Amino acid sequence: MFGTYLYRELSNRRKQTTIIAAGMALAIALVMIVSGVAAGVRDAQASVLASIYGVGTDITVTQEPVQPAEGEQGQQQPRFQFGANDGATADGTTELSQSRLTSGAGSTTFDADALTTAVGLDNVAAATATLTLNNVSFTGEIPTRDAASAQGTEAGVEPGSGQAAPGGPDGAGGSSFSVETFTVTGIDVVGESIGPLTSVELVDGRAFETSDADSTVVILDAGYAATSSLSVGDTLEVGGEEFEIIGTVTSTSSEATTASNTYIPLNTAQRVSGLDGQISTVYVQAGSSTEIASVQASLQNALPDASVKTQEDLASSVSGSLSTASDLVGKLGTWLSVVVLAAAFLISVLLTTSGVARRTREFGTLKAIGWSNGAVVRQVAGESLVQGAIGGVGGVVVGLLGTLAINLAAPVLSASATATAVSGPGAGGGPGGGRFGDATTAVAATTDIALQIPVTLGIIGIAVALAVLGGLIAGAFGGWRAAKLRPAEALRSVN
Amino acid sequence: MYELTNLTKTYETKRGTVSALNNVSLSIPTGQMVAIQGPTGGGKSTLLQMLGALERPTSGTVALSENLLSGMPDARLADIRARTIGFVFQGFNLIPTLTAQENVETALAPLGLSRTERRRRATEALDTVGLSERLAHHPAELSGGQQQRVAIARALVKEPSVLLADEPTGNLDEQTRDEIMDLLEGLWRDQGLTLIIVTHDSAVAKRAERRLHLKHGAVSEKKEHGTARRNTAQR
């Protein structure tokens, strides 16, 4: 009887069934899509973080830059100094070229003992250190000293009147400079299972070997190699030294780039940059995910001046439209879901209870002919539950269609992770030489990521559970109201 | 048999306490056909609800055979209604979304019968009231008289010992009224029911073996006897 009655009620009261199911479906679909987008954004953030910090890194240790005290000199920027006879001279023009390898602005190095400290802590499965640097290359053409002097001492004499040519790249005594920069990461070649190179794959050449520890060899990001027309076997000047290119790598994620333009052995990086015994980041892997918090606390305790961050903390460092999407999903999306879900539940409850009120005669009659309170409540609750389930199935279908539509559209989100680079030259000079300070600034390395929403059984399960919960809540209210009906009163109201 | 002793029922309203039944004592033997008449608000429906275990008295007792209805818990009262008492209402009170057969089956649902058994007995009951051709019809597709026949089939399908009818012909024309009363009288005669009918209609009341008059909550007996007669052998 229960099934027949339920079927007849739902099929004959289509309007109410449709309204409740549609409301529930809308809410469930929204919850599914918002949950899916949130998961997609989390995946994208993880992908960006993996490209920077590598796979398997649970915690990173860095040193926050410290504001120099008044009168104290801040971080030294690379300066290019040329002697009077430096450079190659031809046709009244002197070509100058210098390369500096330094830690970038906003990046602080600290003692490599921190790695030893980290490795010695309990529950630390693996740890490795890197030194993040910027290579700034200055190339310029200036008039030769002789040409400039001649022009200066015979001021007022028109060029081309039998005097020496003024020189310079434009032939009129002018100069031209260019500054190029790329990021360099010093890697421990011994081969820890974590670190930046765990999220890359070899495109060409070979990876580092233990014997490369003190060598001047370099591995390039494949994208950087392509744009710089470099390939395996070529050489690249890093910090004034020629490095042999032994390999090119690309990110294992199609959605992200590698963390650095170039990778060199850590020892070599420390030597060439003059930062012996210095590192900029320690990558730590905890024994298990449950031990991350305790390892973080131990690290913070052992290295009080260091900044110890988990992947969760680092996710907040990802900015750009991906971050905006994350905030949007986290705040607006969640609240919108809660509001729509609450509205759907409320509509369901109101329609169910008003349906019970409308069916007072019906339930009064059923009680009069011997139906127990429990049987009437079961009937009302059963109807609500099925309406919720219909809404849930509809919501899952709409949610999957919405997810498919978003995945097909694949909206591109940009993700920026903090890095350092050089934005332009500064200039200075003096007689007999010149000094050029770079204008290194912290900028964001931007990665475009096509948002893909994962469809998991978990999300579908949550959606269906919410629909069933909505049906149960509405059924509980409706059933409670039906149970309260006294048969005599119910019959008196219609007779 | 029904035994009502000093039965009083009062309702609290905004205007004060209303006395629907006032110290009513009454015996109704098993198998009797009783008509209850009286002015509107005289307490007829309240008395019927007391007899049907739908309402509890403010004071006094209602007993049906050995069952003291006034002292029973709700679940036991529901069981008594499910097995012993059939109801017929003025407004038919059929469930609009169910067919005639399914409406009749609702009375069998509390008895825990199999679906097949419910179907069989519902079909049989509808056949008894002359609606074997209307099993799959919804109430809206039936006339008033046919709907009341479905309601009677629903009341009788569980083979109750008591049939309570509240203005069973109140919504019907004279011809249909007589048809329904012929049907009820025939069933009463054939099945040994105790039939208690609340009615305003004297033509209906005159058919009963016994006529009660209820006014201001007090019951009085009308002396004249109705036309209905049961075969003595059956009683």
For chain B, state the CA radius of gyration. Answer: 18
The answer to whether position A57 is within a domain reads: no
Write down which residue in A279, A305, A331 finishes a domain. A305
pLDDT at A83 over 60: yes
Residues A36 and A108 in one domain: no
Give A239 or A332, the one with higher predicted confidence.
Answer: A239
Q: What is the mean pLDDT of chain A?
A: 77
pLDDT at A434 over 60: no
Top mean pLDDT of A5-19, A75-89, A134-148 is at A5-19
Is A445 domain-assigned?
no
In a domain, A295, yes or no: yes
Which region holds residue A482: left if phi is over 0, alpha if psi is between -120 and 50, else beta?
alpha
Task: For residues A311 and A49, give the distance between their C-alpha atoms in angstroms, rounded to a whole number.
Answer: 8
Report d(CA B120, CA B100) in Å as an integer: 13
Domain boundary among A305, A339, A373: A305
The pLDDT assigned to A495 comes to: 38
Q: How far apart are CA A223 and CA A447, in angstroms?
A: 13
Contacts of A362 in chain B (CB under 8 A): 93, 95
Task: Report if residue A446 sits inside a domain.
Answer: no
Residue labelled with tokens 């040329």: A82
Q: Which domain holds residue A363?
A: 2-45+323-415+452-492
Q: Are strands A110-111 and A278-279 parallel, antiparallel or unpaired?
A: antiparallel
Q: Is residue A426 in some structural domain? A: no
Q: What percent of chain B has pLDDT over 70?
A: 94
The answer to whether the Cβ–Cβ distance between A368 and B87 falls below 8 Å is yes
**Do residue A192 and residue A281 come from a single domain?**
yes
Dump pLDDT digits (tens) for B178-194.
888 888 888 888 888 89
User: Where is A151: in which H helix or E strand?
Assistant: helix A145-153
Q: Are residues A329 and A297 in the same domain?
A: no
Tell me: pLDDT of A439 over 50: no
Q: Are residues A151 and A210 in the same domain?
A: yes
A236 lies in the same domain as A99? yes
Q: Is the pLDDT of residue A419 over 60?
A: no
> How many domains does one find in chain A?
2
Q: Under an 8 A CB cutoff, do B96 and A366 touch?
A: no
> What is the C-alpha separation between B121 and B117, in angstroms, rounded?
6
Euclidean distance between CA atoms A264 and A287, whole angstroms = 28
Confidence of residue A291 (pLDDT cuts 50, 70, 90): confident
A173 and A222, same domain (yes or no): yes
Domain boundary among A247, A278, A305: A305
Chain B interface residues (partner A, CB cutoff 8 A): 45, 49, 52, 54-55, 74-75, 78-79, 81-83, 86-87, 89-91, 93, 95-98, 102, 105-111, 115, 118, 154-155, 158, 166-167
Q: How confident is the model at residue B66 (pLDDT cuts 50, 70, 90)?
A: confident
Mean per-residue pLDDT, A90-106: 76
Q: Is A59 helix (H, G, I), strand (E, B) or coil?
A: strand
What does DSSP assign to residue A331?
A: I
Does residue A281 belong to any structural domain of this protein? Answer: yes
Distance from C-alpha of A1 to C-alpha of A15, rounded to nearest angstrom: 23
CA atoms within 13 A on the CB side of A306: 29
pLDDT tens for each residue of A360-381? 888 889 999 999 888 999 998 9
pLDDT at A314: 64
The span from the CA of A92 to the CA of A147, in Å, is 6
Quick one: A375 and A264 in the same domain?
no
Q: pLDDT at position A321, please? A: 60
Average the pLDDT over A149-176 and give the result. Answer: 58
At residue B195, the 3 state secondary structure works out as strand
Q: Is the same domain home to A289 and A385? A: no
User: A293 pLDDT exceeds 90?
Assistant: no
Residue-wise pLDDT tens digits, B138-159: 999 999 889 988 998 999 899 8
Q: Are residues A140 and A166 in the same domain?
A: yes
Domain check: are A83 and A126 in the same one? Answer: yes
Asked if B93's CB is within 8 angstroms of A491's CB, the reply is yes
CA distances A219 to A193, A265, B5, Å, are 18, 9, 105
Do A250 and A209 lie in a common domain? yes
Does A170 share its domain with A223? yes
Report the gap between the CA of B110 and the closest CA in chain A (Å): 6
Residues of B in contact with A375 (CB under 8 A): 109-110
* Helix, strand, or coil (residue A41): helix
| Residue A433, domain member (yes or no) | no
Residues near A117 by Cβ (< 8 Å), separated by ≥ 6?
A302, A303
Sequential DSSP letters for B107-152 = TTGGGT--HHHHHHHHHHHHHHTT-TT-TT--GGGS-HHHHHHHHH
Pairwise CA distance, residues A358 & A360, whole Å: 6
Q: With 80 as the cut, is the pLDDT of residue B160 above it? A: yes
Domain membership flag for residue A130: yes
